[in-house]
Amino acid sequence: MEHDPSSPNRRSQTRRQSDSARRYLDVEATTPALRSTVELAARSVGFAIAQLNVLDDATQYTLVNIGGPPVSTVERSTTLCDDVVRSGKSAVVTRNRVDATVRQRDILDRNGVASYASVPLRGREGLVIGTLCLLDRMSRELTEGQMQELEQYGSVLEEQLDLHRRVGSTSAKLDGDNDLAGALFAGQIVPWFQPIVDLGTGSTVGFEALARWHHPTRGLVSPADFVPFAEASELIIDIDLEVLRLAVKEAEAWHEHRPDLRLSVNLSGRHLAHPDAVTQLQSALAHSSVPAHRISLELTESSAVSDGPLIRRHIDDVHALGFRVLLDDFGSGWSSLERLVTLEPDGVKIDGQLTKFIDTDRGRALVRALSSVAKDLGLVMVIEGIETRAQADIALELGCTLAQGFLWSRPLSAAAVRRSIEAL
């Protein structure tokens, strides 16, 4: 399938950098570990002033300031750190250097210093989010060895910032932070599809799009090896939008033969923290003929996402556009009974972990109760993880009408789904 790197629903590099940087602004920046590392970096090269700065699209935030005048925020464009974040490269600027630009000298003069040295700091998404910045009132040059030492301190700061970042953690082991981001923008992240089946008739009523990574050397990477990492970072937003964009293209082809088929896509709760979340979703469908009312957005999130007016407003807005909203993995993690009241979704998906116990008394009781709640509230309910005919029969007996699972099919490539639909 042709990959379109200029897709309008993709966040720009500047936007991605800014979003990533903002994840670090709630860090307890005065912790002894961060302050100690910044101070040691300054001492190692004999600079009087040291700062830990985080830069979003418009502002430089000083989280740690050693030896300098009190400052918390300045306009990003007026700083030398802006250049370091844009280039992603370490820099040394002195007042006496012949290669110093007029702008650089002006900034040094405005801050009352003669020397500036800085190394970039990368965040969890593999993007530069800030700098370890050193300043001195005397003109100082740094050797190659001293710059390498500063970069080592920068690596320590990156680890400390990530430790304090309040978005959870992941045990996923990747080749590097840039690995997944690079795969996304190289078009290696694509949707595979698992059928959603009517338990009463056995017919396919739709497909859920699931992210898969087609690695150029490792082959098809298991979602367990990259989705947890993405969910602990802003990359999950880009992955969800990319999967949606590609999935609706596939749905267009399905509808030539089965216009009734629904498409379900996962939507991380992290989307809901951004004011333009609904606009991003609209952009993903901008060039598609698939109507919004044929699409279900499955809200997924294993880490804490605070409920609030913004989340509810987003859900109201996507409802107004015609989307159906389901709470995914219902009964575990982010989804709870309370959110049936506060968020008013259109349906729920029963977590596959609960399905494993459907042949036990407690498991049956829980599924029966959830099915009854869904019926009373007029909600769609899909039960996941059905692997045997016995489980399917029990689910139908307990009031479930829609299901997914290996009993019918494992996730299929887009080409395989097209062939199966065309053969009907």
Q: What is the pLDDT of residue 5?
A: 45
Residue 24 in this model has a pLDDT that exceeds 80: yes
The span from the CA of 382 to the CA of 377, in Å, is 15
Q: What is the pLDDT of residue 10?
A: 61
Nearest Cα to Cα of residue 346 among 227, 228, 409, 264 = 264
Q: What is the pLDDT of residue 2?
A: 44
Q: What is the pLDDT of residue 183?
A: 86
pLDDT digits (tens, 9 = 90+) for 332-360: 654 567 778 888 899 999 988 889 999 99
**Which one of 71-75, 90-94, 283-287, 302-306 scores highest in mean pLDDT?**
90-94
Residue 346 has which token pair?
């259109």
Residue 181 has which token pair?
């981001």
Instruction: Classify domain 177-422 at the CATH topology level.
Output: TIM Barrel (3.20.20)
CA of 196: how far to CAs of 173, 176, 267, 403, in Å? 31, 35, 17, 6
Q: What is the pLDDT of residue 336?
A: 65
pLDDT: is 305 or 134 the higher one? 134
What residue spans define the domains of the chain? 24-164, 177-422
Residue 420 in this model has a pLDDT that exceeds 80: yes
pLDDT digits (tens, 9 = 90+) for 310-340: 778 888 999 999 999 998 888 665 456 777 8
Average pLDDT over the chain, rounded to an integer:
85
SS3 284: helix
Q: What is the pLDDT of residue 424?
A: 67
- Other C-beta atoms closer than 10 Å to the C-beta of 179 total 15
pLDDT digits (tens, 9 = 90+) for 181-210: 888 888 889 999 999 999 999 999 999 999
Q: What is the pLDDT of residue 255?
A: 94
Rounded to an integer, the average pLDDT of 2-15 is 60
Instruction: Classify domain 24-164 at the CATH topology level.
Output: Beta-Lactamase (3.30.450)
In terms of DSSP bridges, do strands 402-403 and 380-383 run parallel, antiparallel, or are they unpaired? parallel
- Other C-beta atoms closer than 10 Å to the C-beta of 268 total 25
Rounded to an integer, the average pLDDT of 51-65 is 92
What are the residue ranges of helices labelled H in 63-167? 81-87, 102-110, 144-164
pLDDT: is 169 or 29 the higher one? 29
Q: Do the beta carbons of residue 174 and residue 180 sit within 8 Å?
A: yes
Rounded to an integer, the average pLDDT of 283-299 is 90
pLDDT digits (tens, 9 = 90+) for 230-246: 887 778 889 999 999 99
For the sheet with 115-122, list strands across it: 73-75, 59-66, 49-55, 128-136, 115-122, 91-94
In terms of DSSP bridges, do strands 115-122 and 128-136 run parallel, antiparallel, or are they unpaired? antiparallel
Residue 64 in this model has a pLDDT that exceeds 60: yes
Q: What is the pLDDT of residue 178?
A: 55
pLDDT over 90 percentage in the chain? 50
Give one word for 399, left, alpha or beta, with left for phi > 0 and alpha for psi -120 to 50: left
Rounded to an integer, the average pLDDT of 281-287 is 86
Q: What is the pLDDT of residue 170?
A: 38
The position carrying tokens 């830069």 is 55
The span from the CA of 5 to the CA of 48, in Å, is 45
Residue 173 in this model has a pLDDT that exceeds 70: no
Residue 57 in this model has a pLDDT that exceeds 50: yes
Rounded to an integer, the average pLDDT of 136-142 is 92
Residue 54 in this model has a pLDDT that exceeds 90: yes
Q: What is the pLDDT of residue 187?
A: 87
Q: What is the pLDDT of residue 167?
A: 38
Residue 6 in this model has a pLDDT that exceeds 60: no
Q: Which residues contact 365 (CB under 8 A, 6 or more apart)?
A: none
Q: What is the pLDDT of residue 14?
A: 82
Which amino acid would we find at residue 229? F
The span from the CA of 223 to the CA of 221, in Å, is 6
Rounded to an integer, the average pLDDT of 64-81 is 89
Q: State CA 108 to chain mean position distance.
A: 37
Q: What is the pLDDT of residue 205?
A: 96
